[in-house]
Amino acid sequence: MIPVQGYKGATVAVLGLGRSGLAAARALRDGGAQALCWDDNPAAREAAEAEGFECVDLLRQSAFEDVAALIVSPGIPHLYPAPNPVVAAAMDAGVPVDNDIGLFFQSFATQAWDNFDVMPKVVAVTGSNGKSTTSALIHHVLEAAGRSAQLAGNIGRGVLDIDPAVDGDVVVLELSSYQTDLARAMTPDIAVFTNLSPDHLDRHAGMGGYFAAKRRLFAEGGPDRAVVGVDEVEGRYLAGQLTQNRADDRVIRVSVDRKLTGPGWHVFARKGFLSEWRKGRQIGSIDLRGIKGLPGAHNHQNACAAYAVARTLGLAPRVIEAGFASFGGLPHRSQIVGEAGGVTYVNDSKATNVDAAAKALGAFKKIRWICGGLEKEGGVGDLASAAGEVIKAYVIGREAAGFAMQLNGVEAEVCTTMQQAVARAAQEARAGETVLLAPAAASFDQYDSFEKRGEDFVAQVLRVLS
């Protein structure tokens, strides 16, 4: 637990009592503050009250009269498409609004660090796709190299739930746009921007607001080093904004689209080979083609970003390569869940938008594609250009027929349920083919989360293979 600093003796309101909200309340209490809690869900309030927290309706009159700050859970809107009524009331009362990420950054460093030989570091990873894999890969490489490391944020533990830092500790945080958009303090030592594609546009009032939320990690935080994916114009813009001149190696540019040149620091992957260039010459390389936990160009981009962070932290290329080789991948992200009769079954339920699904489709050959779900803004028509290896699509979801109609040039069968889709794909698949779940849509029409959707896919695959 990281006790929150700066609110000793004060009353701090906490809105939303899920994983991050309840952890924030505990950390505030450990730091000497009084946490005043609220959640619209009675069960969540009961759980908080069982731990001794006071729950009070924050919309009651004068609720913010003696409150020093309001801490908001990531899923609760604070600006677009409209502020939550409690957030609006806090702003009307002039009460600062923050989240657990802001509390973490203002509280992580302590006087105990004065006795450390090596200062702890914080690595923060954001972007549209690949955040989880990049964060987990950095953490894995560090641990494989014998370094003390913790993984938290949007993956692993809540940021305030981690252990206080030890000498030389590295904390790796995966941060979503919901988290970076509101945090009042963000001071990572190393910040990573993986890529950008349309997602959560209603929450950020469009693509510009979405990018602005990601950019705050760099503009507000002023990291010592930035690792920036430059395969989209936003990444190139961000890298340019952070760079003083072409030789400025405080920014490491990452690409899987092109060879990067110039006097700066570059890490790129082409045809499965990762290369590190600095000051105009190559100083490291890794053959990624045989690493099962990192299939496809999108995972090679994740590998480039993780490699750049590890190099910044002082690891040698061969040490990083050994860490990559032992990385098993993450559930629901290009996860191989079974093989039979020459057919491979892959769970990429985390491919919840068009760009992520396109990258998953580009990682495999001869694909029987399970897709569909709750469509995001813009539809899925753009996926046709990425579906060259698709033999047939098996569409799930409540609006499966409408989804299938957008897959121009792709043979599609409306299955609606995961059970039927897996059964039909398995029945028709031949040796050398891949049955791939890459939905290109959110899961909430049929499942509580992409994890639940992925778990259902795995269960259905195991059923047909048994």
* Cross-sheet strand order for the sheet of 170-174: 149-153, 170-174, 121-126, 190-193, 225-229, 251-255, 265-270, 273-278, 281-287
Structure confidence at residue 222 (pLDDT): 86
The architecture CATH gives domain 11-98? 3-Layer(aba) Sandwich (3.40)
Structural contact between residues 83 and 24, judged by C-beta atoms closer than 8 angstroms: no
133 annotated binding-site participant: yes
Structure confidence at residue 64 (pLDDT): 97
pLDDT, one tens digit per residue, over 226-236 is 999 999 999 99
pLDDT, one tens digit per residue, over 93-142 is 999 999 999 999 999 999 999 999 999 999 999 999 899 999 999 999 99
Does residue 220 or residue 313 have the better pLDDT? 313
Mean pLDDT confidence for 256-263: 94
Burial of 87 (0-12, 13-18, 19+ CB in 10 A): buried
Say which residue the tokens 């910044």 belong to: 312
Q: In which element (H, E) is residue 94 found?
A: none
Mean pLDDT confidence for 160-170: 97
pLDDT tier, 220 (very low <50, low <70, confident <90, very high otherwise): confident
Structure confidence at residue 378 (pLDDT): 67
pLDDT tier, 201 (very low <50, low <70, confident <90, very high otherwise): confident
Copy the structure tokens of residue 212.
């602005």
Structure confidence at residue 355 (pLDDT): 86
DSSP class of residue 244 equals S
Produce one character per residue of 333-360: b if its CB has 16 or more CB atoms within 10 Å, e if not: bbbebbeeeebbbbbbbbbbbbbbbbbb
Produce one character per residue of 238-273: b if its CB has 16 or more CB atoms within 10 Å, e if not: bbeebbeeeeeeebbbbbbeeebeeebbbbbbeeee
Copy the structure tokens of residue 54.
């006071």
Structure confidence at residue 386 (pLDDT): 86
Strands, E, within 148-202: which ranges?
A: 149-153, 170-174, 190-193
Say which residue the tokens 């560090």 belong to: 142
pLDDT tier, 380 (very low <50, low <70, confident <90, very high otherwise): confident
Structure confidence at residue 376 (pLDDT): 81
417 annotated binding-site participant: no
pLDDT at 3 over 70: yes
Q: What does CATH list as the number for 335-465?
A: 3.90.190.20
Tell me, letter by letter, the H, E, C secondary structure of 356-385: HHHHHHCCCCCEEEEECCECCCCCCHHHHH
349 annotated binding-site participant: no
Structure confidence at residue 302 (pLDDT): 96
Q: In which element (H, E) is residue 34 found?
A: strand 34-38
Give the CA count within 13 Å in the CB-facing half-sphere of 208: 0
pLDDT, one tens digit per residue, over 37-70 is 999 999 999 999 999 999 999 999 999 999 999 9
pLDDT tier, 265 (very low <50, low <70, confident <90, very high otherwise): very high
Q: What distance in Å separates the CA atoms of residue 349 and residue 444, rounded to the nearest whole number?
A: 12
Percent of all residues in the chain with a pLDDT value above 70, rounded to a whole number: 100
Structure confidence at residue 198 (pLDDT): 83
pLDDT tier, 408 (very low <50, low <70, confident <90, very high otherwise): confident
Number of continuous H segments (helices) and E segments (strands) in the chain: 15, 20
Listed by start position, the domains of the chain span: 11-98, 103-325, 335-465
User: Would you mind telling me the total number of residues written for the chain in this entry?
Assistant: 466
Mean pLDDT confidence for 148-173: 95
Copy the structure tokens of residue 257.
């689209």
Produce one character per residue of 168-185: b if its CB has 16 or more CB atoms within 10 Å, e if not: ebbbbbbbbbbbbbbbeb
> What is the chain's mean pLDDT, rounded?
95
128 annotated binding-site participant: yes
- β 343-347/335-340 pair status: antiparallel
Structure confidence at residue 343 (pLDDT): 97
Structural contact between residues 193 and 226, judged by C-beta atoms closer than 8 angstroms: yes
pLDDT, one tens digit per residue, over 411-466 is 999 999 999 999 999 999 999 999 999 999 999 999 999 999 999 999 999 999 98
Closest CA to 437 of 378, 379, 377, 397: 397
127 annotated binding-site participant: yes
First to last CA, the chain: 43
Mean pLDDT confidence for 79-92: 96
Superfamily of domain 103-325: Mur-like, catalytic domain (3.40.1190.10)
129 annotated binding-site participant: yes
pLDDT at 166 over 70: yes
Structure confidence at residue 243 (pLDDT): 95
pLDDT at 221 over 80: no
Structural contact between residues 366 and 433, judged by C-beta atoms closer than 8 angstroms: yes
Structural contact between residues 92 and 158, judged by C-beta atoms closer than 8 angstroms: no
